[in-house]
Amino acid sequence: MATLETEEFAEQTTKDALFGTVPLVRGERVWGFLDFSWVMTGLAIATWAFLIGGDVVYFLGLKAGIAAMVLGNSIGLFFVIISVLANTKYGIEHFSAIRAVFGRHGVKPLIYILNFLVCIGWTGVLAVMFGRAAVNIINHLAGTEYGGDAFLVGLFGFAALAISWVVVVKGPVALKWFNRFAAPLLMLVLIVMIYYIFRETSWAQLTAAQPLEPFGDKQVDFMMVVEFALAGAVSWWPAQGNLTRLARTQRSAAWAGVVGLFVVTLIAQTVGLMAALTFEDSDPTAWMIPLTGAVLGIVILLFIAFANITTISVQAYQVCVAMRQEGVKFLATMRWDVLVTIFLGLAVFLLIKPSLIYDNFFQFLYWIGLGYAPPIGIICVDYFVFRRQKLDLYALYDARKGSPYDFWRGWNIAAYIAVAAGVGTFAALLNPVTLWYSAAFPYTSATFASMVVAMIVYFLLTQLWVKRVGKGGYGGA
Amino acid sequence: MTTTPDGSGGPPAADNGFVGDPEVQAEIARRLAVITAPGYEDPARRDFTAVDWIAFAGFLAACAIGFTVWGY
């Protein structure tokens, strides 16, 4: 009976996923500026904002850290927001819209490899955060001194994944309810943190606090933070791309993105940086008890732990639904519980040594920058320069050979060459693993340069090759 | 500037090239017919004006430059 219910639920999710990708008509766009700003705020104020802010403490102090975060977020969000304006304009689902750039089959690696891997990384980070929060509570209550890589951290992280599995497999109805309270409560946590930080510390003390492990060259340290702030901003791309089609106008979609993903994110990241400077620790789960006292600290840690379960579950649900919708038969027909197990099971590997991804969180962000920045840049060139903000809507769904967005058997080779050029540029400027950087990196960043190179290569290839051979529907667009 | 349809590649043919679940195909075809119809109006179709671009890019640029000058 339980299996039958699970399968019925799986069938329903596939149906929902498929119907969730159809174009929206005017009456279905439910978000004006204020509504959408609230949605964006809820998205921005998740626990990872504290992590990003906390990681700045390795490289910079307060003022330079804030400046670098603002600079990185400004650049990243500018391109993310304009790259998804077409989704608002036409009410088109994100990966359907970018078939115009990558081709019908060309979008699949973005869904099945890039987006999938990024989400596994995020899931691992959040599971470790759950584990660290739990272990911090145990350390405080039992007087133990389990470290960040203790077996218990992995065990609790595994428990977080297991709970998320149950939620996603049995139906994430409860998530809707928790989500309504999660964002306001996290905002309350933010206010409580600001209160306690300024009760214990002055602005002068905060600005005088030194970073933990700087390179020693201010320009390099500054750019390292710009880099992961920029990468953090571009990591919103798939989520923003899908949500923005529910906005009523392009203007409200863009400004709501600025309110939530820029202003609110920066406030949360700045609070994270202040706390990290105060306690000389980048881990948000290490701040709460010393900052607010035992009782309130434990309450906040418990809330953070469950907020992370919600985020993991929502993410797992969305990724697994996306895996079923884009025309890979064995995934579309795979048992729902098996698909969820594969996704969450892969995140378990990140629990073997929790510090590897959690304490090097900013390096994970660098990988996101490497993967997302070139496609975002390419989409901007294609939509604004070549298509003049006009898409052939029928062609987005037309799988016939020779259809406008068919390119070469459903793949736009030019787009992939441009992505490769962007990735190569990133690698030539910064190694996300060793943090080796080239002489140009402190002035160009790696994410931004890779985006610009991908844009230029895409422009040249499309102008000189794709258009001339009559591919891509540029003549009729 | 216009809010009327500008994305139509033409009406759906009998074989429109859509693939996948027939119900979903039909729904996509129905919706595309609505949103590409000549009389369809939607405020979301209104592209950024020059003022929008200046305000949007200008705000982000001003924040980026202002904070960098202040903090660096």
A 389-408: CB under 8 A from B: 389-395, 397-400, 403-404
Distance from CA of B2 to the nearest CA of A (A): 11
- What is the per-residue pLDDT for A461? 98
pLDDT in tens, A244-282: 988 999 999 999 999 999 999 999 999 999 999 999 998
Average pLDDT (A20-25) is 83
In a domain, A357, yes or no: yes
Across the interface, whether the CB atoms of B18 and A397 are under 8 A apart is answered yes
In a domain, A300, yes or no: yes
Residue A6 pLDDT class (50, 70, 90 cuts):
low
pLDDT in tens, B53-64: 999 999 999 999
The answer to whether residue A347 scores a pLDDT higher than 90 is yes
| Cβ atoms A93, A242 nearer than 8 A | yes
pTM: 0.90
The answer to whether residue A43 scores a pLDDT higher than 80 is no
Return the amino acid letter for A142. Answer: A
In a domain, A290, yes or no: yes
Rounded Cα distance between B65 and A72, Å, is 11
Q: List, as one string, the DSSP characters of A92-123.
A: --HHHHTHHHH-TTTTHHIIIIIIHHHHHHHH
In a domain, A474, yes or no: no
The least confident of A68-72, A358-362, B50-54 is A358-362
The answer to whether residue A7 scores a pLDDT higher than 70 is no
Average pLDDT (A95-120) is 92
Across the interface, whether the CB atoms of A254 and B56 are under 8 A apart is answered yes
- Across the interface, which of B31, B41, B72 has its CB nearest the CB of A22? B31
A 405-424: CB under 8 A from B: none
pLDDT in tens, A361-418: 889 999 999 999 999 999 999 999 999 999 999 999 998 998 999 999 999 999 999 9
CA A214 vs. chain centroid, Å, equals 26
pLDDT in tens, A276-331: 999 999 899 899 999 999 999 999 988 888 888 888 887 888 788 777 766 667 77
In a domain, A30, yes or no: yes
**CATH code for position A102:** 1.10.4160.10
In a domain, A435, yes or no: no
The answer to whether residue B2 neighbours chain A at the CB level (below 8 Å) is no
Interface predicted TM-score (ipTM):
0.88
- What is the per-residue pLDDT for A11? 64
B-chain residue closest to A63, CA distance = B71
Q: Which domain holds residue A6?
A: 2-361
The least confident of A41-55, A97-111, A129-143, A360-374 is A41-55
| Cβ atoms A448, A230 nearer than 8 A | yes
B56 or A236: which leads in pLDDT: B56
Across the interface, whether the CB atoms of A19 and B24 are under 8 A apart is answered yes
- What is the per-residue pLDDT for A1? 42
In a domain, A449, yes or no: no
Average pLDDT (A179-186) is 75
| Cβ atoms A455, A380 nearer than 8 A | yes
Residue A30 pLDDT class (50, 70, 90 cuts):
confident
- What is the per-residue pLDDT for B1? 42
Q: How many domains does chain A have?
A: 1
The answer to whether residue A455 scores a pLDDT higher than 90 is yes
Residue A243 pLDDT class (50, 70, 90 cuts):
confident
In a domain, A341, yes or no: yes
Residue A66 pLDDT class (50, 70, 90 cuts):
very high
Residue A298 is encoded by which pair of tokens?
A: 């434990």
- What is the per-residue pLDDT for B4? 47
The answer to whether residue A108 scores a pLDDT higher than 50 is yes
A 33-72: CB under 8 A from B: 63-68, 70-71
A-chain residue closest to B45, CA distance = A89
The answer to whether residue A95 neighbours chain B at the CB level (below 8 Å) is no
- What is the per-residue pLDDT for A360? 84
